[in-house]
Each structure stands twice: as structure tokens, then as C-alpha cells.
């Protein structure tokens, strides 16, 4: 029997799944590379001594592919987040800092304006 559909998770869950899928591709590639190399050794097409080097070479290539996949997925998710009007924690922090700076400047201007009014009035 089919499992009931899960309610959609948060965007963070989606980002996490994409990242883990990228890592899974790299891990799966290593297992697959070892299986292919073992098969080549069994068939006599590759010397047993060369097998670890060939697996490492295949892994270096797949790591590059995994990084590119993760970067592309991250870029796609960033675009999705922007389309949804979401901001990053860094952007939010920058905005909070700018608001705090503006509030501080406003208080200084209000004090200065209040002080000059007091100085102009005689008791």
C-alpha cells in the first residue's frame, strides 16, 4: 500500500535534502567506482596494483562534479528564496544594523534640536 503523502517541509528542509542528495551522489559514486574497478580487475583489464589509483582518480573527478552539483543547487535555492521574497540571516542582520544606526542618528538630531530650543528660551 502507498504511504500517505507527507506535508511539504520547510524551505530549510528542502535545502538540506538537496545538499544531502549532492553528498549522496558523491558517496554513491565511490561505491560504484570501486565496483567498476573491481570488475575490470576480475576481467583482467586492469592490474590489481593500479586499482586504488584508478578509484582515486575517478573520485577526484566525481568530487568536482559533486561540488558543482551542490553549487548549482545552492544557486537555484537562492533564486527560489529571492523569488519568494525571503532574505538571508546575513541580510537581515545588515538591515537590523542599519535601522539601529538610523535610530541612533535620529536620537542625536532630536537631542540637538531639543538642546537648541532650550538654549534659545530664557527663564
SS3 labels along 73-100:
HHHHHHHHHHHCCCCCHHHHHHHHHHHH
Residue 34 lies in a domain: yes
Both 25 and 73 in one domain: the answer is yes
> pTM of the prediction?
0.39
4 domain-assigned: no
- Shared domain check, 93 and 81: no
**For 53-70, what is each residue's pLDDT tens digit?**
888 877 777 666 667 777
Mean pLDDT of the chain: 76
Q: Are residues 72 and 109 located together in one domain of the fold?
A: no
Give me the residue label for grid cell 574497478. 37
Assigned domain for 95 exists: yes
Three cell numbers, residue 26: 558523491
Same-domain status, 108 and 62: no
Is residue 81 domain-shared with residue 92, that is, in the same domain? no
Q: Is 53:89 a contact under the CB 8 Å cutoff? A: no
Q: Which domain holds residue 17?
A: 11-86
Amino acid at each position: 500500500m502507498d504511504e500517505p503523502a507527507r506535508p511539504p517541509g520547510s524551505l530549510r528542509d528542502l535545502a538540506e535534502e538537496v545538499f544531502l542528495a549532492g553528498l549522496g551522489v558523491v558517496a554513491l559514486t565511490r561505491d560504484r567506482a570501486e565496483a567498476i574497478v573491481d570488475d575490470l580487475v576480475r576481467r583482467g583489464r586492469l592490474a590489481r596494483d593500479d586499482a586504488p589509483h584508478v578509484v582515486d582518480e575517478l573520485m577526484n573527478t566525481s568530487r568536482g562534479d559533486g561540488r558543482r552539483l551542490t553549487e548549482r543547487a545552492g544557486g537555484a535555492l537562492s533564486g527560489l528564496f529571492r523569488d519568494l521574497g525571503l532574505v538571508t540571516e546575513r541580510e537581515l542582520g545588515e538591515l537590523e544594523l542599519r535601522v539601529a544606526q538610523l535610530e541612533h542618528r535620529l536620537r542625536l538630531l532630536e537631542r540637538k534640536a531639543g538642546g537648541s530650543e532650550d538654549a534659545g528660551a530664557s527663564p
